[in-house]
Amino acid sequence: MATTSNLSAIIRYYAEKQKSPFIDLKEFCAYVKKYAEHHVEEQSELVKYLGDPSGTVVAELQGLSEKKLVAIINSNNKKTIVSITFLASKYANLYKEMMKNESIPYPQASDLPKQFPNQVLEHKAASQYIPAIIEKDNLKSPLLYILDFSRDLPSMLIPACVPIKALLDTAQQKVRKILKKDEFHDYFLKKLRSTNPTKEISIKNFYTHFVDTENYQFAEFTDGEDYYIWNQSLYYIRQDFEKIQDRTAEDTNVLQAVQILELHSSYLKEKFQNEHKREEAIKELESALAKPPYFYSMPQILKFQDNNGRLLYGQYTEDDLKNFLQKMTTDGEANELPQILVFKAESGTRYYVYKKKVSQVVVRLCNEAHESVEKTLEDHWYDVLLDFERLPEMTNASEFEACLHELVEKHSPILYSLLNANFMNILSYENNEDNLDGFRLFVDGKLLPYSDLLMLKNSKIYANAKARLPFYYTLPIISWIMSLFSGKNKEKKRSTSSVIVEKNPFEEEEKKPDTGPKKTKTQALAANAKEIAQDLVPEGSTLDRELNYLTKQWNKMISKEAYNNLTEDVNALIRDYTRRVVKTLSATSFTRERVENLAKTLVNTPNMQKIKEDKALTEYVILYMLRLVSNFQ
């Protein structure tokens, strides 16, 4: 043994020297003193054992006892150290021998020396221990465990350093030995054939490669026909051997081996099922990202559900999600962008969008922004014209384009972020097969102007703003006279406004205590509805804009009259349902999950089920209910 100051290693070395785990404390203290005197120059830490080491040794033994590395027993005023690490090493070597000779039985808990204090060893349930060491072996652990089996089987000893493959190998050999025996060989073969008449060839191959071969090798039964036949064999062996009343040591060993192997098979089956579920959930995630509105933030991705309404996140882990997004956003073919692109809004929120869906996202967001931008411009230009003024963007195309840039950034930040993303220039050189028919996002490698994307013309907006002016604005002489008076009024306003004393920004205003009345139930419900709606409505959009978009998704009526009638009928149903339900709700129970459940209940009614687009309809019902409740006073 190499020189060491580790007391546990010294105890094990001394036990191996004596070939016994039981060590007299006084004799060991004398040995430690001599050991320290001899090796103190090599290990300076051994100096603590010079002189009388009894106190130091007893104190360290207490710590080792708590770690289950040694035990101390008192008998006839004599203290004895029990080296558990010596026993662990002894039984670990026994498992190595067992791999060479399947006739060696498993060490049972009853095999421990009579004076050994069994209560110091930690008990491990086989149903938990086997999966645990499959996940992670602890080959350097010096601990010894008692492995407890179910079905009234006796416990056996298992050193923590025994790897799972060695344990499975010994179990396989014991089962193989039974299947090879003359009295069992044909018996179990006949059982397998009778219960699996269509698997004759698979059973024959199993026996040829595993049972009858002389060159035994550890077999990995992980899937396929062999996995099924292997588990059937284990079941039949267990079924027959459990009926034996007076079991021999070999019978017990066989049942222990079968249980170890069955636990391993159950783990593999569960792992396979979980892996299958994970793969299916990843596929669901891929398809969900390709559905409207086509761009999603991470909080939205975490709330994706499968067809049964269960969250996808949980069916795969956080690492699975990160790896998937990392792969999809970085891996691409030569000189091409990856499948999923990422852009960041001004708020810092990152959005994920399929490369092939970028055009559709741009079209949707432009359609949504068209109305608000046009109305904002028309109202602003109308106010300017009322004051007999003109703006450059009313007639100048480049100024109008710059104005649109500012308005899009304000009214649709997601669209602005997407149009200004780094990948847009590169995307123009790729052939996007999913581009909408008749729509080209790029012309000659350049992004279309905002005016073309939004389908807005300054001349049309200017004409609409002018049309709203009073009729006398169209009379040149009268409008000129009024503009003169309008100029004087403006100068007067400027002069009066300059006299106003500005408030000192460095003077802090005292906060007035909130003495207002407490919120009523309806006000509390309205506040909750606004908070929930804020989470559901994408950044830069509005509740009305989302409702308008969702209406177009579920309402497929062609004529305008039928379209409006269906929308009004659905709205009426939602209003009536909300009035009835809201009476039974409290502010605390009005949560997002509650609103979603209420919406699903309404969508599943016979009247609503006639509409096929149930997903878009459910989202519409949720937002419409929130809109109704948020308007409570």
β-pairing, 122-125 vs 144-148, is parallel
Distances (CA, A) of 16 to 11, 83, 140, 536: 9, 10, 18, 70
Q: Domain check: are 367 and 477 in the same one?
A: yes
Distances (CA, A) of 120 to 26, 51, 84, 335, 615: 22, 31, 9, 65, 60
Q: Is residue 150 part of a domain?
A: no
Q: Domain check: are 73 and 172 in the same one?
A: no
- The terminus-to-terminus CA distance of the chain in angstroms comes to 85
Q: Domain check: are 362 and 419 in the same one?
A: yes
Tokens coding 306: 């499968």
The Cα–Cα gap between 488 and 9 comes to 102
pLDDT at 545: 83
Q: Tell me the residue length of the chain.
A: 633
The Cα–Cα gap between 360 and 436 comes to 7
Q: Is residue 113 part of a domain?
A: no
Q: Domain check: are 429 and 484 in the same one?
A: yes
Spell out the long-range contacts of 344-350 with Cβ–Cβ below 8 A and sequence spacing 24 or more: 344/417, 345/413, 345/414, 345/417, 345/539, 345/540, 346/409, 346/413, 346/416, 346/417, 347/413, 347/539, 349/297, 349/539, 350/297, 350/298
Helix (H, G, I), strand (E, B) or coil at 487: helix
pLDDT at 511: 42
* Residue 560 DSSP symbol: H
The Cα–Cα gap between 48 and 36 comes to 8
Tokens 């079941």 locate to: 235
| Containing structural domain, residue 596 | 521-630
- What contacts 292, CB < 8 A, 6 or more positions away? 364, 553, 616
Q: Is residue 153 part of a domain?
A: no
pLDDT at 318: 92
Render pLDDT for 115-168 as a digit per residue (tens, 0 to 9). 899 899 999 999 999 999 999 888 889 999 999 999 999 999 999 999 999 999
Tokens coding 334: 């030569």
The Cα–Cα gap between 254 and 179 comes to 11
The Cα–Cα gap between 589 and 595 comes to 10
The CATH number covering residue 29 comes to 1.10.10
Rounded to 10 deg, the angle between the 358-386 and 458-467 helix axes is: 40
pLDDT at 508: 41
Q: Is residue 426 part of a domain?
A: yes
Residue type, 324: F
Helix or strand (DSSP H, E) at 73: strand 70-75
Q: Domain check: are 361 and 447 in the same one?
A: yes
pLDDT at 590: 87
pLDDT at 145: 95
pLDDT at 250: 93
DSSP annotation string for 123-174? EEEHHHHHHHHHH---TT---EEEEE-STTPPPEEEETTS-HHHHHHHHHHH
> Which strands sit side by side in the sheet containing 350-354, from one edge to the other?
295-297, 350-354, 340-344
Output the pTM of the full model. 0.69
Q: Is residue 559 part of a domain?
A: yes
Q: Domain check: are 488 and 525 in the same one?
A: no
Percent of the chain past pLDDT 90, that is, above it, reads 48
The Cα–Cα gap between 522 and 531 comes to 14
Q: Is residue 255 part of a domain?
A: yes
pLDDT at 477: 63
pLDDT at 483: 58
The total domain count for the chain is: 4
Q: Domain check: are 489 and 557 in the same one?
A: no
Q: Domain check: are 52 and 178 in the same one?
A: no
Per-chain mean pLDDT for the chain: 86
Domain ends where: 54, 86, 118?
A: 86
The Cα–Cα gap between 92 and 163 comes to 10
pLDDT at 5: 60
Q: Domain check: are 460 and 544 in the same one?
A: no
Residue type, 219: A
Domain ends where: 242, 270, 298?
A: 270
| CA-based max dimension of the chain | 128
Give every residue of the chain whose pLDDT is below 70, as ranges: 1-5, 431-439, 472-518, 633
Domain ends where: 478, 494, 510?
A: 494
Whether the Cβ atoms of residue 83 and residue 11 lie closer than 8 Å to each other: yes
Q: Domain check: are 348 and 473 in the same one?
A: yes
pLDDT at 633: 63
pLDDT at 459: 93
The answer for 77, left when phi > 0, alpha when psi is -120 to 50, beta otherwise, is left
Q: Is residue 285 part of a domain?
A: no
Q: Domain check: are 472 and 571 in the same one?
A: no
Q: What is the 3-state secondary structure (H, E, C) of 262-303?
A: HHHHHHHHHHHHHHHHHHHHHHHHHHHHCCCCCEEEHHHHCC
Q: Is residue 377 part of a domain?
A: yes
Q: Domain check: are 451 and 379 in the same one?
A: yes
The Cα–Cα gap between 469 and 464 comes to 9
